[in-house]
Chain A
Amino acid sequence: MNRHSRSRRAVGIAVASALAVAVSGCGGDDAGRSGDAAEGAPSPGITDTTVSLGITTPLSGSTAGPGTCTVAGVTAYFGAKNAEGGIEFGDGKTRTVEIQALDDGYDPQKAKANYDQLKGDVFAMTAGLGTPTNRAWRDAAIADEVPQALIMTGDPIFSDTGESPWQLGFVPIYQNEGQAFGELLASSGQDLKVAILSQNDDYGDGYVEGFKSAVEGADNIAIVDELTYEATDTSVDAQITQLAASGADVIFNAMSLVPLVVSALQKAQQLNWKPSWFLPSNTSSPGAVLEPGGAAAFPGIYSVAFAKAPASPAFAQDEDVVAYLAALKQYGNYPDPPAFPHCQWSWMVGATLEQAFQNMGEPTRDSFMEALRNIEGFQAPLMLPGTSVDTTQDGQPAVSSVVVQKYNGRGYDTVETFE
């Protein structure tokens, strides 16, 4: 019996050590410490025929929808490119692109764990969604000199070259969106009274800051009232009632929560207050927000965009859109029509990365970051006319140009002037 138990223990030890080997196998066989590589030697994750990219993004939980899109778009883009034979890099070699995506569930701790796991294997991290989940490993990425390129967050810190030398945000920061609408109003020549309602955090503050900077010197714009609400509030009826009393012609509504936007639109109609609205890009969906909110009652609903909406009839025959939808289905593991703009953005991330790859002279992370920061006036596929990728401006994300659009009852049309 004693021998029996000993053999059982031996089995136990064998299982345990097998587990340990399996776990350590995930980390790669070298110790993976940063800063060991010699100058000019290829960085991890790149060979003469392949380059691998890592993504940590929410694939489960409440942000799984947009998170899945951030993987699908870029995977589809490089899937299609790989099928054509790969991408010719600046050093003359043609490489295929592999993507390793891990789920962080919008948990910063898991995002950091995913980064730790990937950093030894991948050439660069990219496309991940979320402010806290990207911030969680920003310092580590700087210390390890791993590119955190073209990530999906409106947080300006990632676009500040001084603070974030190895980072670059992709999507417009909150200020860009507010500013675009402010400029439209300022250039309209009409005397307008504006009411502002914003979320009391960095999101709302960013929009308002951008808007105010654009209308600062404009004599025709008067901000008549300015209120905030908390992201945890369940109703903004009181704020809408007070703003309605101000008699404003335009309401600048920097709100990130879909149900609150719907109820705000409805409340204003109950009060028979019919201003024009500005809504942020992420809470202006025709199907989810404007129709339930009865937006047709208002003279105008404005929002901003930089990507073509594939669902829009105007783009149904568009060359970019057709290629994109086909690749998304075939290579992106995303059979349904994209429900979130993040799919389109992620596709553009792929195109922007390709630009950087084509211009990097050496297979190193340094060379990649240099090439990445030198893209100017690049019209990525799916981009709306009037917008482009420009990575050369410090303090700005890769896409800082947006166009203002107006709701036409079904979708959005780009507008040049405020009516």
Chain B
Amino acid sequence: MATSSTSSASTNSASTNSGSTNSSSAGRAASLWQRPWVRAAGWLLLLAVLVVLPLVMTEFVNQTLARIGVFSVAVLGLNVVMGYAGQVSLGQIFFLGVGAYVTAYGVSQEWNIVLVFVLACLLPAVAGLVVALAAARLGGLAIAMVTIALPIVGVPLAKRLSDYTGGSQGLSALFVEAPEGSGLYDDQWQLYVVLVIGGIVFLLTRNLVRGRYGRAFAIVKGNENVASSMGISPYRYKVLAFTVASLIGGVSGFLYMVVIQYTSPETMSFGHSIQLLAAMVIGGAASIVGSILGGAFYVLVPQLTNQVDASVTTLLQGVILLVVLFVLPGGLASLPRALTRGRRRSGAERGSAAPPTTPSSTPGSGTAAEEPETERQGHA
């Protein structure tokens, strides 16, 4: 992996070419962010907000935030396999469903909750591994074709295995209640559980995609032949990305049961997989912040459109989706970038800042090599 740092820089700037064009202007904000005390203070502030938020918000806001957390994790999993490793997956909802069913079944059998959590992560991961071992061999879009089958198989499977899944009536599991004496309401406690588990998953995933594996994913996404020539097995990394995505899907399934407390075959319906995919694209592919924005989109837009007119929700959602894709093709995560670009463009019209606007689309420009993180992540 000695060559990987330079090569990742080149693939990054090739894949997200908007990044290198504004790296100099974004650098101003970034340089402030680079100072350790600013960074530490920023994280502490975020942490403090997350700790205090559940205590001051209304029940409905807490529940909404918890739901956003659940689907952010699901979108994050999809981002690992699609955004970072470039493999189209239409089956993410299946792994969420498996995680949810494992959790519901485990709770109904009164297994230890830690064991339930581990199983809810492992079983989807194993299922994902088995599928990926076969699908990744086919290459190209075949993995998309195979993953389409997952929710299509999942729904009748959940109905058929009614001894374990409750059939079409589904399974309820109320198991995350605020501990006695904590003084917390259930919705606050559930939000904390989602924040802690989701936060850990986000941190681990962030480390994964920023490290050696993330660079390998990016090369596999950019060009499999180049990856092979550098000793990176596209097959292995595709399987790995898919398995990680399935595992994260399982975690989101566990959280789904924490928050929604009910699962049925409808949970796994194919349409939700497409909605997750749309949420990922709208949030921002290959972006950690984009996953959260995608989760927020998945949860908030139906609520918003319901407020406008409950009888045309799907229509309005389609309009919003198209508008976002037209205005921000890079997803909501690219909004700050788009804003700085717009500002610079207006500056250029006044003739004051012409030089920085020249796009340096040459691969491997100096800033890109130094800042692969900001390149890929935006300003998390």
Confirm or deny: A105 has a beta carbon within 8 angstroms of a beta carbon on chain B. yes
Interface size on A, residues (CB 8 A): 51
Complex alpha-carbon distance, A106 and B305, angstroms: 16
For A68, the chain B residues whose CB sits under 8 A away are 311
Contact A103 B302 (CB under 8 A): yes
- A3 CB within 8 Å of chain B: no
Let me know if A103 and B256 touch, CB within 8 A.
Answer: no
Complex alpha-carbon distance, A270 and B247, angstroms: 51
Complex: A138 Cα to B63 Cα, angstroms: 16
In the complex, whether B60 has a CB less than 8 A from a CB of chain A is yes
The smallest C-beta distance from B333 to any residue of chain A, in angstroms, reads 15
How many cross-chain pairs have Cβ atoms below 8 Å apart between A and B?
135
Q: Which A residues are in CB contact (< 8 Å) with B167?
A: 201-202
Residues of A within 8 Å of B67, CB to CB, are 109, 113
Give the residues in chain B near A8, CB-CB below 8 Å.
339, 343
Q: B170 within 8 Å of A by Cβ?
A: yes
Query: Does A193 belong to the interface (CB within 8 Å)?
Result: no
B172 and A112 contact, CB distance less than 8 A: no
- For A114, what are the chain B residues with a Cβ–Cβ distance below 8 Å? 306
Residue pair B169, A157 in contact (C-beta under 8 Å):
yes
Smallest distance from the beta carbon of A133 to chain B beta carbons, Å? 8
CB-defined contacts of B28 to chain A, threshold 8 Å? 5
The stretch from A24-32, A79-87, A383-391 touching chain B is A24-32
Determine, out of B111-119, B260-268, B284-292, the stretch whose residues face the partner at the interface. B260-268
Residues of A within 8 A of B269 (CB): 107
Chain A proximity mask over B166-195: 1 for CB below 8 Å, otherwise 0: 011110101000000000011000000000
Q: Which of A5, A105, A120, A131 meets B29, CB within 8 Å?
A: A5
**B172 touches which of A27, A33, A139, A230 (Cβ 8 Å):** A139
Stretch at the interface among B3-11, B38-46, B156-164: B156-164
A109 touches B169 (CB 8 A): no
Q: Point out which of A26, A28, A59, A108 has the most chain B C-beta atoms below 10 A from its C-beta.
A: A108
B-contact bits for A47-70, CB 8 A (1 contact / 0 none): 000000000000111000000100
In the complex, are the beta carbons of A231 and B61 less than 8 A apart?
no
Q: Which of B16-31 contact A (CB under 8 A)?
A: 28-29
Chain A, 74-133, CB within 8 A of any chain B CB: 101-103, 105-110, 112-114, 116-117, 120, 131-133
* CB of A232 closer than 8 Å to a CB of B: yes
Q: Is the CB of B64 within 8 A of A120?
A: no
Which residues from B are CB-within-8-Å of A117?
60, 303
Are A26 and B314 in touch, CB under 8 angstroms? Answer: no
Expressed in whole angstroms, the Cα–Cα distance for A136 and B59 within the complex equals: 18
Q: Across the interface, name the chain A residue whose C-beta is closest to B60.
A: A27
A120 touches B264 (CB 8 A): no
Q: Does B59 contact A113, Cβ atoms closer than 8 Å?
A: no
Asked if A23 CB lies within 8 Å of chain B CBs, one says yes
Chain A residues 194-236 with CB under 8 Å of chain B are 200-203, 230-232
Residues on B close to A: CB < 8 A?
Answer: 28-29, 57-61, 63-64, 67, 156, 159-160, 162, 167-170, 172, 174, 185-186, 256, 260-267, 269, 271-272, 299-300, 302-303, 305-307, 310-314, 339, 343
Give A residues with C-beta under 8 Å from B. Answer: 4-5, 8, 23-24, 26-28, 30-33, 59-61, 68, 101-103, 105-110, 112-114, 116-117, 120, 131-133, 135-140, 143, 155, 157, 200-203, 230-232, 333
Task: Show 8 A/B contacts (Cβ-Cβ < 8 Å), sorted by A.
Answer: A5-B28, A24-B58, A27-B60, A27-B61, A113-B299, A132-B170, A136-B264, A140-B261
